[in-house]
Structure 1
């Protein structure tokens, strides 16, 4: 009986808190939106397997700036290129806050580049961008690393002798080795068991946060913490990844030469030593571990998934694959390694790679932003502590910006003379001050790896082009492409 009474009292308290929260919101001129239900807010209006589609549908009623409640969390969703650009670019300073995504908060405890705000974020972002550039991101040195890794990839594909194989983890190993060179100062053998184990965890984490269980955790973390489920296993595996990073940091400490930093970790450790007597410094191990984890995970899964999706697209549209190969043959030939200098001479290839990114729409909801103070936007007042979702899906599929947004169409990036043309609505890396720090690296990897693969192989599958389904397997936090056995025929 006491337990029953306690339960009733808890529900009443929660109801009162909810009513107070909703009533308090009414003093602001919030953007319009559907009426929320107690506790669950507007969750019943969201499509479970692809919530971003529901946001797009709701915007037809409530406009491009709308308020929803995802559980307890007040959320403002920005729909379409105009609204997203106005917020993230035109009012960039107002929208630099990063949303406290519960899953990432638990993993990082608020430390590191990805989830931080304020001075911590400013110091870590400035340091990360500068350091990655120093070690070649977007420059010739990094290009040579990617070219070298592309040779390892081609040699591994050769071992399949034209037989079907799943490229998922092979591409993860390839792409991850590039970020490993930047962060750890080394590449790993494709057979390295520890490396493979870590990559398996990365894949499992991405699949989890893109699953209904991951969505549930981010909506009701306080409830999920007390319930059994796969999320507890995922968090344990993330601790294994953190232990791996800590091991690498310790190895760096033991061999550190302050006059000659080898990689990102060395540079961070040197900065820790330089600022050890500054009480307000953000350069300490609590920030180093999650920042390395951020770079490692983001630098592995998104790019490798995009390349894998690109191969599926080219198998589905063999005429596009053949046209790319003709262009590569005429510009580079069979023997030379592709370089970024070739890109301007390969407009159709460049257009296809851009269209692959647009069509996949890898992170449809973007990473959530957060209001660190009250914000005025388009005549509305968005209160402090509101989650902001810049719906990148609505930008990459904006019918005002793209001729055929729902079809794969390389002409989106070609002018009437078939020269490459930019489109301001191409924002797969987001925009503004929170845009992806690895954008230039990812662009370089996508170009060199895909051109190298198509220069040396023709891709197909045993069931034929019609068997390829380009609709992602998971579509929540990330659009995760479907997995296929593919055939790489040497050219």
Structure 2
């Protein structure tokens, strides 16, 4: 018994010391809920950085507040003004990534999404150059997307108007665009390997934003040795890297005279840098870039289209108005071009509203402050970790006419012309804005417009209500649903 009391006493002393230490640090940070020893605010946020919860907390503590993940404080930004003043006005000073435990396991500071310093700048610059060579912003990219859109339309047509869940076929189409650009070939929708790649990317991508993800980052030394979903995520990540290495080997064994895909172009650059021992243009970075492409390119566009089809089935008046405009300017899906959006303001507004209202990526990935900055009334110190609640900008009542409802008028002026809004940040903002933004925009326009040109979407007979709450992980997904695609 004496031993137990001694241990309890030591635990109380350690907890008290930890509490005082945290309080001393917290006094120098923006306000936030009181952190507990060792676990911080994990109970307060219910072990999840929920964008809705963060917006509620901001009403108490302000748009710049501190949330503790274990013993690590996060400076959380809410509202467009705070996000703009930090990520855009101080773009260079907050362009690095913190080396959190799971992100270190995920990328080891390689690739683009989680790379830092000169390696990140080099990989991003090279990646953008290669994507331009592959047709980013050009007709060749549109041709690839339109080709996949034709397959998608055939799948929808095969349902013959009966109720079905569009998730799998939309996922297949979007994923095939990414694989075609990344390593030069597509998959059959029935290919088991293709579905394993998609499943693995979903598991790894979803893990970032889960309760287990927060626990792993808070207690990595303990969690690394315990069973749980984090171990499953690790296995799927290793599968993806192993598969992508096989793709690279096949390219090396069968080189093309002219580069055809991202792997071809990057291997070409590796060859040029072979005599430079300090070069980071290497196979390890290439593998990680491909992992980044798969994780970022599969889920986000897929989920936005799924939300969009659900909105169209529910808001019939908006669907009819969109189709009327599409019919006026698009003779057939074969003639559809991305530049058509410029003469179709309502359709363009609907697609933007799909992104704004669904908030598929509700919070950006964390940033690292590389020098002291002044942010409103607070001094944010070098080394601070910053998290932007992007959903709070997309739903900011100061910035939108109808912030909490699905309404294309949020992107239209009084004359019905398309009107951009700087508070629209689905691709994040600043130096870390999504590298694939142009490709995603093109995919959304061509896939969505092709679908609405060809079909009218309705809820199944007898269904009058749908669950719009969504499933929150790293991304914000719609609950599984069924719709009817009726040929027009």
TM-score by structure 1 length? Answer: 0.93
User: 1:150–1:174: 8 Å Cα contact kept in structure 2?
Assistant: yes
Match in the other structure for 1:327: 325
SS in 1 for 2:74: strand
- Which deviates the most, 334-343 or 170-179? 334-343
Match in the other structure for 1:31: 30
CA distances 1:133-184 after superposition (whole Å, capped 9, x unpaired): 1111122110111111111111122222222222112111101111112110
- Which deviates the most, 392-401 or 178-187? 178-187
CA displacement at 1:101 relative to structure 2: 4.1
TM-score by structure 2 length? Answer: 0.94
**Within 5 A, what are the aligned runs for 1:29-428?**
29-47=28-46, 51-257=50-256, 260-334=258-332, 336-428=334-426
User: 1:99–1:388: 8 Å Cα contact kept in structure 2?
Assistant: no
In 1, the alpha carbon distance for the partners of 2:472 and 2:48 equals: 6
CA displacement at 1:404 relative to structure 2: 1.7
Where structure 1 has 5 or more consecutive residues not aligned to the other structure, the ranges are: none
CA distances 1:51-104 after superposition (whole Å, capped 9, x unpaired): 222221222232221222121111101111111011111111111012334333
Match in the other structure for 2:485: 488
In 2, the alpha carbon distance for the partners of 1:269 and 1:332 equals: 40
CA displacement at 1:194 relative to structure 2: 0.6
- Which deviates the most, 334-343 or 283-292? 334-343
CA distances 1:210-258 after superposition (whole Å, capped 9, x unpaired): 433333333333332232212212211221111110100101111224x
CA displacement at 1:20 relative to structure 2: 4.2
In 2, the alpha carbon distance for the partners of 1:276 and 1:430 equals: 35
In 2, the alpha carbon distance for the partners of 1:430 and 1:460 equals: 32
SS in 2 for 1:466: coil
Where structure 2 has 5 or more consecutive residues not aligned to the other structure, the ranges are: none
CA distances 1:352-403 after superposition (whole Å, capped 9, x unpaired): 1100100011111111111234333334332333220111011001000011
User: 1:429–1:435: 8 Å Cα contact kept in structure 2?
Assistant: yes
Q: CA RMSD in A?
A: 2.3
CA displacement at 1:15 relative to structure 2: 6.3
The aligned length equals: 487
**Within 5 A, what are the aligned runs for 1:396-475?**
396-463=394-461, 466-472=464-470, 474-475=471-472
- In structure 2, relative to structure 1, the CA distance for the partners of 1:276 and 1:408 (3 Å cut) is same
In 2, the alpha carbon distance for the partners of 1:384 and 1:450 equals: 43
